[in-house]
């Protein structure tokens, strides 16, 4: 074991290929269905929204997919990211566990999201795309894609969930600074947005609604615009695997190997990006690392949702996939971890939970902020509220080690910093945050609106 606390890789250790878990999934991938016909989609249908290169990555069975050099060049702006041993946190908790975290908050916009934003913008550029549409919840994804589109000269139209648009005005300014257009969703720019506003004029919006608007804006643009998604899809998770591939090398530098790896899960991208390379070791090299996905009790898709076919968006325009879902009609409470408010979960993460390769754990909001504050006091970094869910689970596991006298090695992904989330921290310090558990009755009701699929 090393006596260092900070593990920094040379630039030439940025991975040269992404890891594609499709090659190792213990269960066959489920078909993606057309939202209208409910039959398996063809690449042609998807090509209205995505360039063929990304569609091919989505269905590729190849274990390793080469990272084009221009993408690695941009990655060099902030990659490799550091792996840190949280020694001060270990002391504070008085635990025999060793706690490591991979810090993705050092990217220019403060999270893991640019790992795929840069890749998606580059592949779109190569395919001749001039403009993209997207949605953003907390603003991290929108900021990342705005930066990436700016690098590659692509116009960008962003539908930002209304509650976040008002809670996080400076995220909007970052996107505008990179030249993106930002709209508070639901908007009157799309047919779906107008219909929704007519019914619910004060709708706070949701990620599912913003996705519907961004998809509609691209699908009805007559080919002028393509669409980009910041999580959930296979190619997004694929691009994020640079996180775990670097972490594997850094754990080797540390002279330890994790017994437990943890990531927070909204749509699953940072979780998969960090943990799938360790799962690869479980599947192919006899390792037995426990893999835990942390989610909020207020949006508990993995722990309270159903594993079934559902639409990817609220308007039922996006493809139908098999995943853990709270129902596409889910409109979440305005909890502060905006990036974890999606009704579903990436199909591969869902399949791995269903198969027992990944554990899922829901944590409550107050305990999550308590962990985030404890972490920042120990390590000096203020976690994004989303990442704080992983911090909570890591601390809980370290405390369990203390109780059992077990010196386990715990590694988690700190997916972003919380510098634009200080209103949420302020609310926490002023006792204005409450715990909210999503009621089973609402899940049961939403299940009556699932698409009827013959599978
Ligand atoms: C910092 C941060 N972490 C995690 C997430 C959740 O997304 P995903 O599950 O795709 O990593 C978000 C989403 O906005 C985020 O901003």
What separation in Å is there between the alpha carbon of 99 and the centre of ligand 1?
21
Return the bridge partners of 134, or none.
Answer: 158
The DSSP annotation for 388-407 comes to HHHHHHHHHHHHHHHHHT--
- The best mutation among 234, 341, 416 to test binding of ligand 1, ranked by most ligand atoms within 8 Å of the C-beta, falls on 416
What separation in Å is there between the alpha carbon of 268 and the centre of ligand 1?
8
Count how many residues are written for the chain: 455
Residue of 281, 308, 278, 283 lying closest to 293 (CA atoms): 278
Return the ligand 1 atom nearest residue 416 CA: 1
Place of tokens 């706690």: 99
Q: Provide the pLDDT for residue 162.
A: 94
3-state secondary structure of 233: coil
Return the ligand 1 atom nearest residue 137 CA: 14
The H or E element that residue 373 is part of is helix 365-379
Angle at 279 between CA 256 and CA 305, to 5 degrees: 125
What separation in Å is there between the alpha carbon of 435 and the centre of ligand 1?
20
Q: How far is CA 225 from the centre of its chain?
A: 24
Return the ligand 1 atom nearest residue 387 CA: 3
Q: Provide the pLDDT for residue 335.
A: 65
Residue of 212, 442, 205, 210 lying closest to 305 (CA atoms): 442
Return the bridge partners of 413, or none.
Answer: 102
Alpha carbon nearest to ligand 1 atom 15, residue? 339
What separation in Å is there between the alpha carbon of 415 and the centre of ligand 1?
7
Residue of 377, 388, 350 lying closest to 232 (CA atoms): 350
What separation in Å is there between the alpha carbon of 141 and the centre of ligand 1?
8
What separation in Å is there between the alpha carbon of 272 and the centre of ligand 1?
11
Return the ligand 1 atom nearest residue 384 CA: 1
User: Contact 175/182 with Cβ under 8 angstroms?
Assistant: yes
Instruction: Classify the C-alpha dihedral 339-315-224-45 as positive or negative.
Output: positive
Alpha carbon nearest to ligand 1 atom 10, residue? 269
3-state secondary structure of 71: helix
Q: Provide the pLDDT for residue 127.
A: 98
- Ligand 1 binding site (Cβ under 6 Å of any ligand atom): 111, 137-138, 140-141, 231, 264-271, 339-340, 384, 386-387, 415-416
Return the ligand 1 atom nearest residue 265 CA: 9
Return the ligand 1 atom nearest residue 270 CA: 11
Q: How far is CA 100 from the centre of its chain?
A: 20
What separation in Å is there between the alpha carbon of 37 and the centre of ligand 1?
32
What separation in Å is there between the alpha carbon of 340 and the centre of ligand 1?
7
Residue of 232, 367, 355, 251 lying closest to 298 (CA atoms): 367
Q: pLDDT tens for the chain, 455 residues: list them.
A: 777 899 999 999 999 999 999 999 999 989 999 999 999 998 888 999 999 999 999 999 999 999 999 999 999 999 999 999 999 999 999 999 999 999 999 999 999 999 999 999 999 999 999 999 999 988 999 999 999 999 999 999 999 999 889 988 999 999 999 999 999 999 999 999 999 999 999 998 988 899 999 999 999 999 999 999 999 999 999 999 999 999 999 999 999 999 999 999 999 999 999 999 999 999 999 999 999 999 999 999 999 999 999 999 888 988 999 999 999 988 777 666 667 878 999 999 999 999 999 999 999 999 999 999 999 999 999 999 999 999 999 999 999 999 999 999 999 999 999 999 999 999 999 999 999 989 899 999 999 999 999 87
Return the bridge partners of 262, or none.
Answer: 292, 412
Reported pTM: 0.97
Token reading at 143: 């900021």
């Amino acid at each position: 074991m090393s006596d260092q606390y900070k593990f920094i890789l040379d630039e030439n250790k940025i991975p040269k290929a992404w890891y594609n878990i499709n090659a190792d999934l213990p269960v066959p991938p489920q078909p993606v269905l057309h939202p209208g016909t409910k039959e398996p989609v063809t690449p042609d249908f998807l090509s209205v929204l995505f360039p063929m290169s990304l569609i091919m990555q989505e269905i590729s069975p190849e274990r390793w997919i080469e990272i084009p050099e221009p993408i690695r060049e941009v990655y060099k702006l902030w990659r490799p990211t550091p792996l840190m041993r949280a020694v001060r946190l270990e002391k504070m908790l008085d635990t025999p566990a060793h706690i490591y975290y991979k810090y993705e908050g050092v990217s220019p916009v403060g999270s893991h999201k640019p790992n795929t934003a840069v890749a998606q913008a580059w592949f779109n550029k190569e395919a001749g795309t001039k403009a993209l549409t997207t949605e953003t919840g907390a603003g991290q994804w929108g900021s990342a894609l705005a930066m990436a589109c700016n690098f590659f000269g692509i116009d960008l139209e962003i539908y930002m969930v209304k509650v976040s648009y008002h809670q996080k005005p400076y995220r909007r300014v970052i996107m505008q600074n990179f030249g993106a257009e930002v709209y508070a969703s639901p908007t009157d720019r799309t047919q779906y947005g107008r219909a929704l506003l007519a019914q619910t004029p004060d709708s706070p919006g949701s990620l599912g609604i913003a996705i519907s608007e961004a998809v509609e804006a691209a699908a009805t643009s007559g080919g002028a615009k393509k669409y980009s998604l910041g999580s959930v899809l296979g190619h997004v998770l694929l691009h994020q695997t640079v996180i775990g591939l670097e972490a594997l090398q850094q754990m080797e530098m540390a002279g330890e190997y994790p017994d437990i790896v943890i990531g927070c899960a909204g749509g699953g991208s940072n979780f998969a990006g960090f943990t799938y390379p360790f799962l690869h070791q479980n599947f192919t090299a006899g390792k037995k690392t426990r893999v835990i996905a942390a989610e909020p009790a207020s949006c508990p898709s993995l722990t309270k949702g159903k594993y079934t076919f559902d639409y990817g968006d609220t308007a039922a325009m996006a493809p139908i996939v098999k995943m853990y879902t709270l129902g596409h009609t889910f409109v979440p409470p305005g909890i502060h971890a905006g990036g974890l408010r999606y009704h579903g979960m990436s199909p591969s993460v869902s399949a791995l939970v269903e198969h027992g390769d990944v554990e899922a754990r829901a944590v409550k909001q107050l305990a999550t902020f308590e962990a985030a504050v404890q972490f920042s006091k120990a390590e000096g970094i203020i976690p994004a509220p989303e990442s704080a869910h992983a911090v909570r689970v890591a601390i809980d596991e370290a405390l369990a080690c203390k109780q059992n006298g077990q010196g386990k090695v715990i590694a988690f992904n700190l997916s972003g910093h919380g510098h634009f989330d200080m209103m949420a921290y302020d609310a926490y310090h002023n006792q204005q945050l409450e715990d909210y558990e999503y009621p089973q009755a609402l899940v049961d009701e939403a299940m009556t609106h699932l698409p009827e699929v013959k599978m």
